[in-house]
Every structure is written in structure tokens, then in C-alpha cells.
Amino acid sequence: VRGGAMANAQDGEPAIFGKLREMLQSRVMFFDGGMGTMIQGYRLGEEDFRGERWANSSKELKGNNDLLSVTRPDIIQAIHEEYLAAGADFIETNTFSGTWIAQADYELDKNPEDVYLINKAGAECARRAAEKYTAMDPFKPRFVAGSMGPTNRTLSVSPSVENPAFRNITFMEVVDAYYKQLAGLYDGGVDVILVETIFDTLNAKAALFAIDKFADDHPEYERKPIFVSGTIVDNSGRTLSGQTSEAFWISVSHAKPFAVGLNCALGASDMKKYIERLGKCSDAFILCYPNAGLPNAMGGYDDTPADMAKDLVPFGNERLVNIVGGCCGSTPGHIKAIHDALKDCRVHVPPTIEPMLRLSGLEPFIMDPEVVRFVNVGERCNVSGSALFKKHVVAGNFDKMLEIAIKQVENGAQVVDLNFDEGLLDSNAIMRRFCNLIATEPEAAKVPFMIDSSKLSVVEDGLQCLQGKCIVNSISLKEGEEKFIEAARLVKRYGAAVVVMAFDEQGQAATKDDKVRICTRSYNILVDKVKFPPTDIIFDPNILTVATGIEEHNRYALDFIEAAKEIRETLPHCHVSGGVSNISFSFRGNNVLRESMHSSFLYHAINNGLDMGIVNAGLIPVYSDIDAELLKLIEDVILFRNGSEGTEALLAYSLTMGKEGSRKVSDEEKNKWRQLPVEQRLQHALVKGIDQYVESDTEEARRAYPKPLNVIEGPLMDGMNIVGDLFGAGKMFLPQVIKSARVMKKAVAVLIPYMEKEKEEARAAALARGEAAAEENMYAGTMVIATVKGDVHDIGKNIVAVVLGCNNYRVIDLGVMCAAETILEACETHKADVLGLSGLITPSLDEMVDVAMKMEKAGMKIPLLIGGATTSKMHTAVKVAPRYSKPAIHVLDASRAVTVVSSLLDENQKEDYVEDIADEYAELREEHYAGLEERRSVSLADARKQKFVIDFKSSMPAPKPRTLGVTKLVDYDLEKLLPYIDWNPFFQTWQLRGKYPNRGYPKIFKDETVGAEAKKLFDDAQAVLQELIESKRVKASGVLAMFPANTVDDDDIELYSEDDNRSDATRIGVLHTLRQQVEKEDPSAPYLAMADFIAPKELGIKDYIGMFAVTAGLGLEDLLKEAKEKLDDYRVIMLEAIADRLAEAFAEAIHLECRRDFWGYAAQEKLSNDDLLKIKYDGIRPAPGYPSQPDHTEKRTMWELMNADEVGITLSESCAMMPAASVSGLIFAHRESSYFAVGKINRDQAASYGERKGMDVKTTEKWLRPILSYDTEI
């Protein structure tokens, strides 16, 4: 390995490194002890901390010890000298809280000069003391350690129990704080930088990031040795943020600490085993400065100097340490005793660490080839690798996303890949939030993460949220050497390993030679120029798809395997990885075949050097379990043993496989289809890829149609449309589509001579008229096609070109990495009728937008087609189409290209087709931007001044409920709910709507149009209802609760555990409400909030509030599953619709029981069902997420108070109720309470609401986004 342990001299290191190394290898050295302990002995007053500089501070400064270096430097220097006299070799600067983050507690964070002065003065005090004692004994030089404490914020742990993804500070803010601290420490003259008392490794990584950046930005300073000291919080052996000591070391080792160790939290005896572990896994010198025992009941420390020295003697005798000192509770007396006891002990010798890839989550992961032959990188947290995960990402369902991550780890993933690259997603925000969330889940966070994005900013967002040592996926030479080095240096600064893709300025490496060449060049740049550890380099030489039917692809698997072998043999200590699922993409939809291909490929690739792969760890069959016949066919393809025939044989076999991969009973090929009309025979041939009869069938069709072109536009295009639909549904595979294209080509070849004859006749006629006939007029149209700049993926584009070419289109393929200017120039040169843009990676989306803008600017009028794996219809509609006034259309896949192009170039179809697309895209845009319009509104303060005021003295609240507290309603009788069912929404679900006067139930049965169908549907529903009641397979349960309550501060409702003692001590929860702000037409109209319906606390009037949650969906999932297995969609919808109606009926019934019995404020109420539905009773039952309270997070408070989980009703992270057939709400009893819509709210209310709920602005806006009157970043 290039470089080595801190025990060995490094090239170009400043003299201080060699000086310290020599001393640490010869004797134990000593740190000082506690600074705070000593300061307390001086009994200083407020004036001592203020001095002249801060004499007028509005904040009390006593206790801000770091200020004393400025205001009482005499005291700080005196303390330093006491420790030096006791034998200390190192004294720490009095700057433990010297960041602006820590100083913010004293309002000293605003003036940068304050922070600089605190650190400079702290360093100068220590420097003077050290130089004084060095002069007294030159043979024992003393050193100054610049103390950088952990700050009072944590980057890995949420300060909010309710929101584990929330952080109250960012990584770069912490970096900034440490960076500014360093300026003072360097100018004050420190010898080493000490990052200490690390309870959160991510904070330490921010400090190390700042140190490295500061050194790069200020070459005028010599680099300083870095000491890093963590804090194990208890005998679990972990930091506060959950890491083991070994994982902690791996996470900070990239900074090459000169010394690493532990301090604080534990006494010496408890710290010993963790110091021993650290010494075995680290190649740095070992530092240890424990507390003087554990804190006692009064917060003091009981270990005497003799006790502490005695406990530390084994550290010396067993050669565990190089530097020893004291932390909290230790004094010069302790340091003298420690010095005297250990000064003659032999020192720790840092071990030689074998060069291996070392990663970490909460726990270490070491890629020891003796133990770990292959690393499973879980791919299911990748929006490109899992449709289910993408669905949850789009829905913002972070709980479900987290479940997928945990499941991967349970299934054996040793590293989890995280990727959110998708055009319409805010990848940066999602990466930050999910990494913050997953960092708090030990079952997932115990393994390392692979931060996977083509955007460096997204990669950084991930790295800034994870304390462990991650893998960055990926960088490459695609944009040249300079950009490659810049990205690699940044990754190295974050302390991550890196995946290097086999791309360079010319494109993607496909052949073995190109793979090896690019990887070798990348390796040499990284190791020689960037000084990147070779063990942390992971090459991805591009696993490409085989069995596509395209001859050039046949060697892709073998080329990868051979390249992996050579890369591992010639590039020491590196690793080889790849996205394994790519190999089988041509068979998408046939999971059994794909998984068998993955297993076979892995078997051979691992034996030749592949030691990491992005796979679904739970879906890889055992190699030896694969059917022998299938395995041979697969390996004929993987190992290229049978030429192109291998693909044909595997494809033929795949067609005999059922859904579960078993062989169908195979009948001899029947020729019944040959009896069909010629149009159907041609369609059959295209779909099945049969070219045996296509020429004769085409000739027969030509004779039957007026023109040869009509054959193409008719039966042949009909066949291709079927192919497109089947391929889009995953029922045809890529090689089959290629075969279809070949059949098409043969058919077109029959027609071309006749078409050319027509063209010659047309050309002759044109010449006779004195007109020129262009070559392009011989074709159905000309299409320029290109992969956009920055993207080198072209397989899909090539297939489009093949398919279009087979359909008599002239295709101008510009290749990959095409700049917008090149593309537009080609369109002009070749007189293109259509332009097609392709891209696979997310940045390509921006390039496509850029091309569209340039087309508009150039005044182009040809249609623009958008395609590729990363593209989507929504992105095209929202981002591309508005930039170009002519058609911009998304093409789902290659087989649909002919249909789209022909529609655009057919003068008879074009206008209607373009208009349909424009209407569809307009709807998509409307959907995307809905709710962003601003309306006139009033400030929150003004709205509160004009709130709805009830005279509670004359219109008293409802009486005290008969039943306060929580009541469970388990297995509620479904039959009791039948009278309360509102059937109108049921018919709306089925999109059956009667016309006046037969609109509602039961009048709908009389409607002339839908009445008969509605009655049939209703009868079916009654049968299913009766079945549910009799079978008892679906159960209804709920919970009802009532509490003493009063409104406080206008908009919030406090709930209490005691009716007669309504105080902070008995407050059990707060319900937060939102107030209307949209300006009223009537200037005297009130601005409502639900809090207006509860008596204000200051009136001293007792009031109450109820809440409930009910479900009729317990057991429903089993019935739905059975129906789906029988493909009975009708029953699925029916069951869901009925369960929904039962849940709503349950809510109506429980509200009635509440009014009559449980609360009893309307004990005599007797209303018809119709009156109930018309809300003719007193009170309301609004639900969170609905107009009166649009914030779903209020359910969390309700659930905590009601314990709704105990009856089977739970909340997802997005506060959706599960089961889905569930209803919840609050119960307001006052007769003047009413339903209303909050409507749009302004920034002032969003800020106030978030502050009251303890949520940051972004989180608040996320939950309230549908009602915000202003736009926000998503």
C-alpha cells in the first residue's frame, strides 16, 4: 500500500510529526486534566467572564469558560502551568466550546471576531505556558493541543422524538463553525489539533472535513498532526450515536489521525477494554484520558489521584497507550499521580494493518477476502431498481421505504444502495431526509451505505447525513481528467470509498480491452495524483445486457468476466463491482430466468475477481439448484460458448417457461394460424417473430391493397402496435422485439421495389414539372436520433434506430454524448422530420430540456421525441414540453417509436394526435401545479383579532362527559352499522351518477341511464355485506376518548388528565389548530379555527373534547388477496367499497353513541338516518387531513392519547390510517361549533404553527403544502 501507519514517516510531513513520533515511540506521554474543574476553584463572578470586551452583553456570561482566555488569561495560564508542573507533555487550549454553535447559547455567535478571539487567545495562553516550561527543561518539550469540542448539536440524532429525520443543524454549518475556530487556533500557535469528546461521529467528520479544507485553503500554514478522541457513553461500547469503537475508527481513519483514543463519560477501569479494541484496529498512536471515575449523585467525581493512577497502571503494563491524561474531575494532582505511575511503562506499538476495504455503519464491515468473498449490495432502495420502492418514494411514504431497507439487511445485504435519481423527484431533499431517517434505525444503519447518484450534490447530501464510512457510486473520466480529480478529492475529504465507472471521454467501455484500459488509467490517477487509498477504489467495468439479439452484445458478459480478472491481478488492492441485474434485462418480466442468469453470472464473475455487486440479496437462487438444461443454455450465453445461436436457444427455452419458471406442456407447432386472413397472418408473424412465410404473405397483401405503403400502414403497423403493447406490459422480451423488427424488415423488403418504382415515377413527374426530387423523399421520413451530452448509454437508442429503419425511415444516428449544438446542426443538415433524444441517467433530463429550449430559440418546427429509462411522461409534460412550442412527446419504449413517428408524419392523423397529446400533457401539468395559486389574505395576527368568539358564559359548553378517558370498542357488531351506511359515495366509487331528479340513493334506481346497473350493483353489495356479517372474517373495532380541555394562545387546545386541576402538571397533550386567512368578502366575518369552539383557559370555564378512531377493515386483506388470486377485480373493488362504507357508518354510529351515552350531552336525541347524514345534531366531528384541520400530523397526538394501535388501527409515517377502511376525528360538542374550510394560509401562520409544534420550517411546509398560499421547493 502506498503510504503507511502513523508509526512510519510520511513524505513531505512537517517537522512536528517526526518530533512527536520519536517521543511517542520512546515513552508514554501525558495530557493535562480537566479545565472546568480547576476554574470552579477560583469562584469567579459575572464580571470575570465579561471583562471589557463583553461588559455590555445582554446575556449572562458566567459559565462560558472559553471567554476567560480573553478576560482572565492570568487564571487560564496559571492552570496550564499547574498541569505542566505535574508532568503533562500536552496542554489543551481552553477552547472546548470555541465554535459559534456553542457560543450561540451566550449570543456570541454573530460577530466572527468573538469566535476568532476566543480561540486565538486560548491558544496563546497555552503557548506561553508551554514555551515557559520548555525553556525550563529543553529535553522535555511541551506541546499545545488545540481543543475542538463536539458542539452542543448532533448531526446523527434528531432533537424531536416525533420526527426522527429532523436535524436542527446541517453538516456544512458544523463545518463552517469548526473552520472559523481553526483560524484562531492556528494563529494562536497550536502544535496539534485535537477533535475531542466525540459522541456523534458525524460531528467529528465535519471537524475533519473543516481541518482538511482549511489546510488546502491556507497553504501558508503547516499541516498539524490530528488527534481524535471519541466518547463511549456506557458499557454497551458505543458512542451516543450508536457506533462501536471499531466502526468509529473506520469512519475517521481517512483523516489519518496521528493519535486516536477515548475520553470522558467513563472512568479508567471501564474504558480499558475499548482502548484495547481501538489499539488493535487502528494504526495510529493511542490516546486515553478518562474521567476521575463515574459521576456521583451530586455530579462530582470520587476517584482520588491514587485511585485513578492505580486504574490506569494496567494500560501501561499491557502497552495499550501512548498518551494518558485526565478528563472531568481530574486535577494536577491526578495528572502527577498518573505521570509517576506510568512514566516508565513501555509504549503501545501501532500494528501493521492489512490493506483491505474497511467500511462502517454502526458496526464495522471489513472486506477480508478470507472471510468475505463477495459483498451483496442491496439494490431495493433504488428508484431505478425497485418499482415498489419508487412508488413509496413518490408517495412520500418514508416508513415503507425504511421497511424495504431493513428487509434487505435481513436478507443478507452487507451494503445498502440508496438512489433517488428521477427527473420529477427532489433527489437532494429525499436523499437528505431518508439518510437522516435511516441513520436512526439500528437494524438498517448497522451496515454501510452506498450513496448512488449521478449528481455530485446529491452524493454530498447523503454523505453529510451518515456517520459511517460509505461508498460513493460513482465517478468516472467521462468529463475529463480535471473533473475526475476534483470529484475524487471531494469524496476523499468525506472519507468515503468510491465506485469508478469504466467510462472516459470517448464513452462507455464495452470490450475487455477498453474496460482494462480505462480502469488502469483511473487507478493511476487516483493513487498517484489524488493519493486515494487503493483499498477504497471499486471499479465498475460495466455489466451490460446480453441475449439482446444484437450481435455486438454477445460477448458482453465474457468481456466483463475477463476484464475483472485482469483488473484484480494488475491493480493492487482494488475491487470490482457491478449492477448484476443489467446482465438479464433483455428478459425483463421473466424473473425466474433472470435470477438464474444472475446466479450463473455471479458464479463465474466471482471466481474471476468480482467481489461486490448490486443485487437483491433475497432473490439469488443457489447455483447448483438451477435446472441443468437451463443452466447450460444460460452459460452458453454468459460464456459465449455457442455464438449467436446461444441467444436463440435461450430465447426459445424462455418461451416454454411459465410464470413460476416451470416447463409448460409443449405441443407440436400447429399451423392453424395459416388459415387466417392475410392481415391476421402478418400480425401473427410479427408478434411471434416467424419469418418463414412473411414474403409470400406480404406479396399477397400487396396485391390486395391499392398501394404498397398501405400494407405497411395497415396490417404491418397493426402487428407492430401489438408488439409494442406486449413489450410495454413485460409480456415480450427485447430479443423477441428485435425478431419482430427483422420480420418487419423482410416484409418491407418485399414492398420496397414497388415503392421505389412509385417514387421513380413521382421523381420523373417532378422533373417533368421542373422540380427536384430529394433522396429523403424516397423514405417514409427522416429521424435524427442521439444520446444527449453527458450520457453514454445507447442500447435503447440503437434498438429504436433498428425498428425505424425496418419501417423505411431514414435514421441519422449521432451516437452518444451529443451536444445540443451538434444535434440541431444535424437536424438542419439532414432535413429531419423528427428528432429523438435518449438518456439513461438523471442529468440527461436537464440536457433534454436544454435541447428543447435551443430548438425553440432556433425556430425549429419538427416534433421532439423523448425516451430512455430515466425519462417519463410527467417529466416531459412538465419540464420539456413547455420549453418547445411544437410537439414534445414521451415514447415509453422502443417498440412504440414507429407508431408515434408515423402518427406525427401522417398529415391525416397528425393534427388530432398532437392535439390529444397536448390536452393530456396540459392535464398532467395542471395536476403537478395544482394548489400553487395565491389569493388575497390577512395576516395571522389580524385573523386572530377577528376570530370567532363564543360567549361561553351565556352559551355554556356541553356538560362533563359521563365517561372520561379511553373506551375500547372491540369487534363491534357489523349488523348494527347497516342503518348508518350512506350509500351515495358507494355509487360514486363505481362512477354511477343519476341525473336530476334521480341523483341520490335510492332515487338513483329510477334513473333511465344508470338505474338498472345501480340496482344490480346494490344487490351485489347486499349479498357481500351479508357474507361479511355471517362469515365474521372482517371485523370492526374502534376507540373513543374524552378529556378535559381548554383553548390557550388563540389557536391551541390543551388536554388534561384531571378535570379539577387544569395546569401544566396535568397537561397530557396539545391539539394545534389552523386559522382561516383568506380574506372574507364580508369584512365583519370571523376567521375560524377549531380552537374557537373550546372555552379559553383564562375564562376558568370547564370544557371538554372527544376523539375517536374506528375501522371496518380488520381481516379485509385476506379476502382481497383471495379475490386477486382469482383475478376477480369486481370483487376486489366491491370489498374495498363496502369496507369503506362500513367504516364511515361506524364513525356515524360511535358519534351518536357518544352524544347519547358516553358523553351524554344529547341523551334525548332522536333523529332519522337522513337527519344524521344532514348533520342536524349539535356538535361536529372534523378529522385531521380534512378542510377544518388539513394537518394529518395531529393524528399522532390523538393516537398517543387514545392508544388506537391497541385495537389494530395504526399510522404510517405519512399519517395514513391502516387498515385503509378507517375513520378518525375529533368531537366538538358546543352547539355553535361548525364545519369550515381553513383554505390557504400564509408564511406567518406556517412559521407560527411549526414553532408551536416543534417542527422546522421545511417539515411544516411539507405537511401543509396543499394549503400554502405560496410556492415551496419540493
Cβ burial 129-144 (10 Å sphere, 16+ → b, else e): bbeebeeeeeeebbbb
* Distance in angstroms (rounded) separating the CA atoms of residues 6 and 514: 38
State residue 817 phi and psi, 5-degree precision.
Answer: 50, 50
The secondary structure of 216-280 as a DSSP string is: HH-TTSPP--EEEEE---STT-B-TTS-BHHHHHHHHGGG--SEEEEEEEEEHHHHHHHHHHHHH
- Please name the amino acid found at residue 341: A
- Residue 174: burial class (beta carbons within 10 Å; 0-12, 13-18, 19+): buried
User: Is 791 a known active-site residue?
Assistant: yes
Name the residue with cell 347524514. Answer: 1173
Residue whose entry in the numeric block shows the C-alpha cell 446542426: 825
Look at residues 1103, 1133, 1104 and name the one whose alpha carbon lies nearest to residue 1116: 1133
Task: Determine the Cα–Cα distance for residues 391 and 399; give it in Å rounded to an integer.
Answer: 12
DSSP string, 1117-1175: HHHHHHHHHTT-HHHHHHHHHHHHHHHHHHHHHHHHHIIIIIS-TTTT----HHHHHTT
Cell numbers of 827, please?
437536424
Exactly one of 334, 793, 1151, 1192 is catalytic; name it: 793
Please give the Cα distance from 1131 to 1021 (Å, whole number): 10
Q: How far apart are CA 554 and CA 637, in angstroms?
A: 7
Residue 1017 in grid coordinates:
350493483
H-state helical runs in 1032-1115: none
Q: Which residues contact 356 (CB under 8 A, 6 or more apart)?
A: 366, 367, 368, 369, 535, 573
Residue of 844, 937, 1222, 1248 with catalytic role = 844
Nearest of 1172, 1190, 1154 to residue 1263 by alpha carbon: 1190
Q: What are phi and psi of 1199, to 5 degrees?
A: -65, -40
Which of these is catalytic: 791, 794, 813, 1050?
791
Residue 1238 and residue 1075 in contact, taking contact as beta carbons nearer than 8 Å: yes
Structural contact between residues 760 and 743, judged by C-beta atoms closer than 8 angstroms: no
Among left, alpha and beta (phi > 0; psi -120 to 50; other), residue 511 is beta
844 classed as catalytic:
yes
C-alpha cell at 602: 455471479
Residue showing cell 472546568: 36
Asked if residues 783 and 863 have their Cβ atoms less than 8 Å apart, the reply is: no
| Helix (H) / strand (E) containing 143 | strand 143-148
H/E element holding 458? Answer: helix 456-463
Q: Is 919 a catalytic residue?
A: no
648 to each of 334, 552, 1202, how far by Cα in Å? 81, 15, 63
Contact call for residues 812 and 800 (beta carbons, < 8 A): no
Report yes or no: 385 and 379 within 8 Å, Cβ to Cβ.
yes
Residue 751's nearest CA partner among 800, 720, 722, 714 is: 714
Pairing of the two strands 965-972 and 1035-1048:
antiparallel
Burial 818-836 (b: 16+ CB within 10 A, else e): bbbeebbebbeebebbbbb
CA distance readout (Å), 113 to 107, 110, 374, 1047: 13, 9, 53, 46
The residue type found at 256 is K
The CB density around residue 882, as the number of other CB atoms within 10 Å, is 16
Rounded distance, CA 537 to CA 997, Å?
74
* Catalytic sites, residue numbers: 791, 793, 844
